Structure 1
């Protein structure tokens, strides 16, 4: 069994030791004074200029009234420069009036006042330019030596300034600022993290956006600077960890950097394993591209570049599993090639095997799974030889490795287990909602559980009566131990009863797929990557369609086609989706990721049917003259010839 870090608490980032700018030395980041506390002897380096300029409302209004090019502007420049190049001037300008004792160092910055001030300043171009110049000087002083604890609040103020969100300042300000933060001593970092966790959502978003935008800028515009991103990602990891525990946490998507999803970025600019290790920065598209990059590396043509599978339709399950018997790891990682025996005229598509085998496997007659009462979900059963589940894991791994969906209706609990996360009572609801309601009633019961329910620590699952604890027949469920009973019930269903069988299934998947790459996904993301989803947003299929040749959105044949499609039943549309894409399920990136290409075909015969190239999502649509022709030929092509549009199968 693999061991993973927990997702709710990623390991703390290691301190980055690479040089940042001008060979800056961060070795003094943990320097402390004689008392063992933070070194504050360098306060004068943070605020070198004489005088102290506090930005109060009267001074701010005076600045805002001054016009560019006037004598008053020249006299005011030094005042503004002093205020924004001095760390303690800025902090003092936004100190909240408070009688709270200093013990514990509560955050004293009025973030609302900070935002309002910077928004007003941003409207004055000449002041903004001066602020830009001044803050560059200020940020430089934060690096040498370590940031004194008294100056830490400046790290809350700076992300609110608009100039730090400009691309031109990534190199001049964001890198040095990230270097200063990532090099904080342990106590200082903990203090800053506690302040971040106290920020309201709109203010916590600002440092997150500032640093994620910086990463995106480097990846898209300045790839030669990628080597400097260590500090930026280090800070983002701190923010991500804080956000998990923050009272006003921002959505995890705020950390996603779409630019990481480019293949060139993953393969060339930054080693793809860096993104695997910082999975919280990846959106689903980026995670899938990381997976495909890892898969393509393993698929690089060896001496025999194909893993060939030969099956008969009449013995699909038997032949599929026979092909997997004794398969070697180096074989199953090759590009898959499928051949249907006895069908020489059919060039077998890989998707066809996964579509057919998933339907066969999930039939009750296959005996492969336990089915819930509604026949909507499947789970492992001890009645099946565990080697079959190893082969099933191989099959699922091969499907993902070859970028194909295999629609096996496992609950989310399966994908949690693959990611070493423990399923809960809510996960059991997918298998049996009535059972979960009963268990919840026991937990919520206000009366005498033992006398009113009369339960002991024995359950019946998969046709077998089993004790949940030693001597469970003689241990009654009471008010004191009912939580233990429910936890044991859930643990038995998802873990104890299927331990050997799940481990074989997991072994099969990881014989094909890299565990570290699978681990970048969240459970729901992994489920949709393997099995697709049921978010059938048909309007997006139409919206994203592209046309070739004489076809266009207002062409007569195209209008007839979409009118017919709109009248189709749900089952007919799914059959059409299968016809064009190779799966009845929607890809994990959603319907918008399907860009169907409709290509005109000049009919050679009156009976010519539409054809599809699944790998290119291409529909070759003959130029039918009437709606009747189009309807009859298309329904026949997708296997719904016996249904009229709107009829359910």
Structure 2
């Protein structure tokens, strides 16, 4: 190993004498030089294409690499027979030998005679490129190290148990991810990295001691170099040696030089001499170190150069040495932004600013580099590498200048978006997908719309692995930033809705809605960081007819069966999350009503046709008559359901009472019918359901005591109530509706079903102390529904501890909601979907379905009073009316709910809210204050006698509430 201290002998290369060289690199037999204008010159051996001239031959005189002429190159690195270049816009190019994958271009390439962009690194904001014998590295500004090429000696630092000997595409080095690497240097088959705190880690071949390790133990991964005292400021690798400078200027070297090589081609088989860590004094005469302080070092295969300072010079005596600053890719900082904002029209500064804006906003790496978070922020485990809040503030400030906004817009639209990386496995490469919505939102509406559509197309064009990464990043976003993307896309959807009636123009909505759908699913997986209402586009109802959209959806469903859905006009029903619950319910009710009317119309057509053909045959009655006895209402209902054809379930339901006038199809009768039947069937005495705790919801028993088909009939009844637009209360938990929609119940659902058990299991999860087993004494055996059950085979012998308690809780929840009720719940679900179209029901979220099916308890009694109408002698100011509302508001909640049951047939609030409950109070001349109030539930009408005192009114009203049922007895 030889060191030359600032050699005085040198010879200028005449072919480059007119160029200003700013960066050089040497391979085994070739060299590269970078000029200040970004041009690259190459010379030397070229048999493998390492010169990048397009020819596989040597060149003794430097020649410009024409394949890079369109780019300003800022860094180059040479391996033995290959070359790497980093451009100002963040692109990376490689050329030369690819026998071991060192070009990063894939297995298909052997020798590459001209520069080829490494697409696997597209979008990543890089700080450095480096090359060794047949391996290559790229270091990102965030500190992530990517390696590829030869790995026979583990010189790539991969942490795999059985790493491949060749890596053909850039691979993120997991073992280096948290080390905060700032510099990478490579030898022939070894690698050294320098971290922010001055530590050195080495890995790869150590046959010559080039890793500087004191132990001969075989470790394949990166290991910290402990033999160097104090922080290191810079390091370089030769083929088989490594040299470091400490921050104090001390030079440390280890490895060996060419005199120890066998045939000059590889590491010696004698490793004992090579494993010693040498101090510089062992290689250079001590007299040469007197008064010398090392400033910079450079290494070739078997040689090292150093520039020095004389320590007698007081100006430098106490100045710590530092690593040479590498040229950076283009990026925007606060100072550059201020310069742009202050640039006046027609000035040279503005012309320069336009070029700078275009350079940065045309490049994904440069855009990402402009808003990178500090490395310390990434150490906290945050998944998002860019500072979106900083981006929002700076972009909004830039957008105040029209000329800047216009330049940003054209650069993004024409250059950046078309070149977005769509198939990258690297998270950093996808930062632009997080920044683009901020760019769009900062610009005025027309520009935002023109950018959002190609952005959405790019998101939909991502490969599965890239999309998975992006969705993971979305899930880590703060709610405000996730909502920023959602609201931006909603605005653009709204702006394009006028195209809805026209095909194919309406298809412009498709990519936007597809991205919204992806965001919607991410938000749900992130436990609804955003309320689902943030995805509603309430204005849709004012622009398009949702019933016409439903017709489109039916066309799409039929086309999908034939595999021709791509040729169908878009239907918003394919993206039901944009509809609010009211619109969804209107669509659902319209579908039900339409199916009923179609049956009636078909019957009418059949009747007319038969008459024209002089046939006496009558069509089948286009309704579902349910003939029951009041005193045997439940039994008669179940008996009828066991006999009915499935087709009749999708007809209008009519309740007929034996011995009475037929044809009770009014809403009030249906409301009261379903309320009564459900209330009877959920009673404990009936035996169909269990109740874990007092006042908790009902659930399906693990050991049912009634026939299995009753659960089928119960499902049919719930489906019939929805199909006939009736809200009737069944005390099911949300978990029941999750399961109807194919969603998994969670511990939160168990907390609703059994608050005591739910809290206990939550306490199990929250317990962090080491004495878990002794303090809890739990096993995988539980007691549920008075039965001891093993959650796993031999569960009573398996103790629950801190490592498996999460699995235990998950299995507990799964048993309660799934395994224990599998058979009977499946019957209930089958009955439910005998009536309803499962695809239509899927429009709803579980809470929405629950609200539509059984209503809710979101009472607003002041609004109820405000919406009331008055007939006859009554008005808002009538004394009796004032007494009524005074008494009403003083009632208990139970009595108020009883009043709703009295006048409406149900005590639940429909999904549309209390605003839809419009009571009418009417006087009647036949009623005196000795009468109780009467109700006509079909019309939500209260017949209120003209009471003279508050006491009398309260007495009679409570009597009416207590006698609020007409079913089950003859009225």
- TM class by shorter chain equals 0.7 to 0.9
**Alignment pair present for 1:350 and 2:670:** yes
1:38 paired residue among 119, 123, 135? 119
What pairs up with 1:138-287 in 2 under 5 angstroms? Answer: 138-142=412-416, 144=418, 153-161=431-439, 168-169=446-447, 171-185=449-463, 189=467, 192-193=470-471, 195-219=473-497, 224=502, 226-243=506-523, 249-259=529-539, 265-269=545-549, 271-272=552-553, 275=572, 277-287=574-584
3-state SS of the aligned residue for 1:413? helix
Report how far residue 566 of structure 1 moved: 1.2
Q: What CA distance in whole angstroms lies between the structure 1 residues aligned with 2:489 and 2:708?
A: 48
Report how far residue 93 of structure 1 moved: 8.3
**Alignment pair present for 1:403 and 2:755:** no
The answer to whether the Cα contact below 8 Å between 2:340 and 2:350 also exists between their aligned partners in 1 is: no
Tell me the TM-score normalized by structure 2. Answer: 0.51
* Residue aligning to 1:296: 593
Q: What CA distance in whole angstroms lies between the structure 1 residues aligned with 2:806 and 2:375?
A: 45
Tell me the TM-score normalized by structure 1. Answer: 0.73
Report how far residue 328 of structure 1 moved: 1.7
- For the structure 1 residues 400 and 432, does the alpha-carbon distance in structure 2 shift closer, same or farther, using more than 3 Å as the test? same
Q: What CA distance in whole angstroms lies between the structure 2 residues aligned with 1:287 and 1:113?
A: 39
* Residue aligning to 2:911: 588
2:396 paired residue among 99, 109, 119? 119
Q: What CA distance in whole angstroms lies between the structure 2 residues aligned with 1:361 and 1:133?
A: 69
**Alignment pair present for 1:94 and 2:370:** yes
Report how far residue 457 of structure 1 moved: 4.4
* Offset from partner CA, 1:313-361 (integer Å, 9 cap, x none): 2111112112212222211111211233344499562101011112222
What pairs up with 1:14-33 in 2 under 5 angstroms? Answer: none
Report how far residue 197 of structure 1 moved: 4.5
The answer to whether the Cα contact below 8 Å between 1:329 and 1:511 also exists between their aligned partners in 2 is: yes
**Alignment pair present for 1:461 and 2:785:** yes
3-state SS of the aligned residue for 1:337? strand
Q: What CA distance in whole angstroms lies between the structure 1 residues aligned with 2:419 and 2:877?
A: 67
* Residue aligning to 2:198: none
* Residue aligning to 2:742: 420
The answer to whether the Cα contact below 8 Å between 2:800 and 2:808 also exists between their aligned partners in 1 is: no
* Residue aligning to 1:328: 645
Decide which structure has the larger Cα Rg and report it.
2
* Residue aligning to 2:850: 527
**Alignment pair present for 1:389 and 2:711:** yes
Q: What CA distance in whole angstroms lies between the structure 1 residues aligned with 2:719 and 2:790?
A: 33
Please identify, of 483-492 and 534-543, the stretch whose mean Cα deviation from structure 2 is larger: 483-492
The answer to whether the Cα contact below 8 Å between 1:94 and 1:110 also exists between their aligned partners in 2 is: no
* Offset from partner CA, 1:122-172 (integer Å, 9 cap, x none): 5x4xx2486258515632445646668899655433433476675545653
Q: What CA distance in whole angstroms lies between the structure 2 residues aligned with 1:623 and 1:154?
A: 71
The answer to whether the Cα contact below 8 Å between 1:96 and 1:109 also exists between their aligned partners in 2 is: yes
The answer to whether the Cα contact below 8 Å between 2:729 and 2:855 also exists between their aligned partners in 1 is: yes
* Offset from partner CA, 1:202-235 (integer Å, 9 cap, x none): 3232112101222234447865453211110222
Report how far residue 113 of structure 1 moved: 2.9
3-state SS of the aligned residue for 1:229? helix
**Alignment pair present for 1:500 and 2:823:** yes
The answer to whether the Cα contact below 8 Å between 1:477 and 1:485 also exists between their aligned partners in 2 is: no
* Residue aligning to 2:799: 478
- For the structure 1 residues 234 and 162, does the alpha-carbon distance in structure 2 shift closer, same or farther, using more than 3 Å as the test? closer
* Residue aligning to 2:657: 340
Report how far residue 385 of structure 1 moved: 0.5
The answer to whether the Cα contact below 8 Å between 1:80 and 1:131 also exists between their aligned partners in 2 is: no
* Residue aligning to 2:683: 363
3-state SS of the aligned residue for 2:624? strand
Please identify, of 273-282 and 529-538, the stretch whose mean Cα deviation from structure 2 is larger: 273-282
The answer to whether the Cα contact below 8 Å between 1:226 and 1:269 also exists between their aligned partners in 2 is: no
* Offset from partner CA, 1:233-257 (integer Å, 9 cap, x none): 2222333444456699444443333
* Residue aligning to 2:214: none
Q: What CA distance in whole angstroms lies between the structure 2 residues aligned with 1:435 and 1:310?
A: 44
3-state SS of the aligned residue for 1:563? helix
Q: What CA distance in whole angstroms lies between the structure 2 residues aligned with 1:42 and 1:139?
A: 16
3-state SS of the aligned residue for 1:332? helix
Q: What CA distance in whole angstroms lies between the structure 1 residues aligned with 2:482 and 2:463?
A: 22
Q: What CA distance in whole angstroms lies between the structure 2 residues aligned with 1:606 and 1:133?
A: 81
Please identify, of 280-289 and 361-370, the stretch whose mean Cα deviation from structure 2 is larger: 280-289
3-state SS of the aligned residue for 2:507? helix
Q: Which has the higher strand share?
A: 2
3-state SS of the aligned residue for 2:909? coil
The answer to whether the Cα contact below 8 Å between 2:671 and 2:905 also exists between their aligned partners in 1 is: yes
* Residue aligning to 1:578: 901
The answer to whether the Cα contact below 8 Å between 1:77 and 1:130 also exists between their aligned partners in 2 is: no
- For the structure 1 residues 520 and 599, does the alpha-carbon distance in structure 2 shift closer, same or farther, using more than 3 Å as the test? same
The answer to whether the Cα contact below 8 Å between 1:371 and 1:379 also exists between their aligned partners in 2 is: yes
The answer to whether the Cα contact below 8 Å between 1:306 and 1:336 also exists between their aligned partners in 2 is: yes
The answer to whether the Cα contact below 8 Å between 1:547 and 1:598 also exists between their aligned partners in 2 is: yes
Q: What CA distance in whole angstroms lies between the structure 2 residues aligned with 1:636 and 1:346?
A: 31
What pairs up with 1:530-549 in 2 under 5 angstroms? Answer: 530-545=853-868
Aligned length: 589
* Offset from partner CA, 1:601-634 (integer Å, 9 cap, x none): 5746546876666566x44566948465993697
Q: What CA distance in whole angstroms lies between the structure 2 residues aligned with 1:602 and 1:441?
A: 60
Report how far residue 637 of structure 1 moved: 8.8
Q: What CA distance in whole angstroms lies between the structure 1 residues aligned with 2:807 and 2:434?
A: 45
- For the structure 1 residues 637 and 278, does the alpha-carbon distance in structure 2 shift closer, same or farther, using more than 3 Å as the test? farther
- For the structure 1 residues 242 and 82, does the alpha-carbon distance in structure 2 shift closer, same or farther, using more than 3 Å as the test? farther
- For the structure 1 residues 294 and 108, does the alpha-carbon distance in structure 2 shift closer, same or farther, using more than 3 Å as the test? same
* Residue aligning to 1:4: none
Q: What CA distance in whole angstroms lies between the structure 2 residues aligned with 1:277 and 1:254?
A: 18
**Alignment pair present for 1:135 and 2:409:** yes
Q: What CA distance in whole angstroms lies between the structure 1 residues aligned with 2:372 and 2:336?
A: 18
Q: Which has the higher contact order (CA 8 A, sep 6+)?
A: 1
Q: What CA distance in whole angstroms lies between the structure 2 residues aligned with 1:136 and 1:94?
A: 18
Q: What CA distance in whole angstroms lies between the structure 2 residues aligned with 1:633 and 1:620?
A: 16
Q: What CA distance in whole angstroms lies between the structure 2 residues aligned with 1:521 and 1:451?
A: 44
* Residue aligning to 1:29: none
Q: What CA distance in whole angstroms lies between the structure 1 residues aligned with 2:339 and 2:346?
A: 13
The answer to whether the Cα contact below 8 Å between 1:442 and 1:449 also exists between their aligned partners in 2 is: no
**Alignment pair present for 1:517 and 2:791:** no
Q: What CA distance in whole angstroms lies between the structure 1 residues aligned with 2:384 and 2:772?
A: 49
3-state SS of the aligned residue for 1:258? coil
Report how far residue 173 of structure 1 moved: 3.3
- For the structure 1 residues 40 and 421, does the alpha-carbon distance in structure 2 shift closer, same or farther, using more than 3 Å as the test? closer
The answer to whether the Cα contact below 8 Å between 1:603 and 1:622 also exists between their aligned partners in 2 is: no
Q: What CA distance in whole angstroms lies between the structure 1 residues aligned with 2:471 and 2:692?
A: 46
Q: What CA distance in whole angstroms lies between the structure 2 residues aligned with 1:434 and 1:55?
A: 56
